């Protein structure tokens, strides 16, 4: 049986990157506990538009926990109170009638606010562009069992490949570091045979591009705790190991 909730929303409003921004308070009534968090924001925006006011800008796309664009800080927690859940998968049953919900954008220097709750995460794109791919011509897709890969290795690669690039790791990190994101993108290629020829070149390029935009990792572990896909902090250790090896191997290649 569906229950209706009355809520107070404290929403961050910011006209653009240069605007100081401020919170605005809205009262929203009779929200079904079966509604998703984004559906609740849709209802708020519909009411704002009907009242002749400007809608709240927020990012979204698939609404299935796949694309990572629904990134919001909810009551100070990336993606809200439920573990391993993106904002679009969060339902209003997680809140009680009468609650005040504080909704903010990601707070990180590398993610400047575009407007209201939407931020620019293109720094992530720069990291992937620097080496998050395989250039070797592999031809058509081979049969699934043609290349023998130990199951633990294949599983580890898939675990890393789950990263949706939402930025929760950066938003949760007190240093604004992107090590979990970068390590996941590196590891899912470096684990597999196809990724070996460019392993060290990839690692060096992606880590050093990351360092241009983001803070340094000091192993707080907040990144993994906030990750909606529960990517392990272990991938950071693997990235650091490969980066150290890359600094030696790549220099040897250059000196030949």
Q: Is the pLDDT of residue 3 over 90?
A: no
Q: Which stretches does DSSP call E strand in the chain?
A: 4-13, 22-32, 73-74, 77-78, 100-104, 113-115, 118-119
Percent of the chain exceeding pLDDT 90 equals 88
pLDDT range class, residue 250, cuts 50, 70, 90? low
d(CA 62, CA 212): 30
**pLDDT tens by residue, 182-226:** 999 999 999 998 899 999 999 999 999 999 999 999 999 999 999
Mean pLDDT of the chain: 94
**pLDDT tens by residue, 76-113:** 999 999 999 999 999 999 999 999 999 999 999 999 99
Query: Domains, the chain, ranges and CATH?
Result: 4-115 (3.10.20.30), 122-255 (1.10.1060.10)
CA 13 to chain centre: 21
Find, among 221, 232, 222, 154, the residue nearest to 192 by Cα.
154
Percentage helix, strand, coil for the chain under 3-state DSSP, each rounded to 5: 40, 15, 45
pTM here? 0.92
Find, among 115, 123, 74, the residue nearest to 94 by Cα.
74
> Which whole number is the average pLDDT over 57-85?
96
pLDDT range class, residue 152, cuts 50, 70, 90? very high
DSSP class of 231: -
């Amino acid at each position: 049986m569906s229950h209706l909730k009355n809520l107070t929303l404290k929403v961050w409003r910011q006209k653009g990157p240069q605007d100081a921004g401020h919170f605005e308070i809205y009262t929203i009534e009779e929200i079904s506990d079966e509604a998703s968090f984004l559906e609740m924001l849709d209802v708020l925006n519909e009411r704002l538009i009907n009242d002749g006011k400007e809608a709240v800008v927020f990012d979204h796309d698939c609404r299935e926990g796949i694309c990572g664009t629904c990134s919001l800080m909810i009551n100070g927690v990336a993606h809200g109170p439920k573990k391993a859940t993106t904002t679009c998968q969060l339902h209003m049953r997680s809140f009680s009638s009468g609650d005040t919900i504080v909704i903010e954008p990601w707070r990180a220097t590398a993610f400047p606010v575009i407007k209201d709750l939407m931020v620019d995460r293109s720094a992530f794109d720069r990291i992937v562009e620097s080496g998050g791919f395989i250039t070797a011509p592999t031809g058509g897709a081979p049969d699934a069992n043609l290349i023998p890969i130990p199951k633990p290795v294949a599983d580890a690669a898939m675990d890393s490949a789950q990263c949706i690039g939402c930025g929760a790791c950066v938003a949760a990190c007190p240093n604004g570091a992107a090590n979990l994101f970068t390590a996941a993108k590196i590891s899912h290629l470096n684990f597999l045979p196809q990724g070996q020829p460019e392993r060290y070149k990839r690692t060096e390029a992606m880590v050093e591009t990351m360092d241009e935009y983001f803070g340094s990792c000091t192993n707080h572990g907040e990144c993994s705790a906030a990750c909606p896909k529960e990517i392990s902090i272990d991938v950071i250790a693997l990235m650091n190991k490969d980066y150290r090896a890359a600094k030696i191997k790549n220099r040897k290649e250059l000196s030949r």
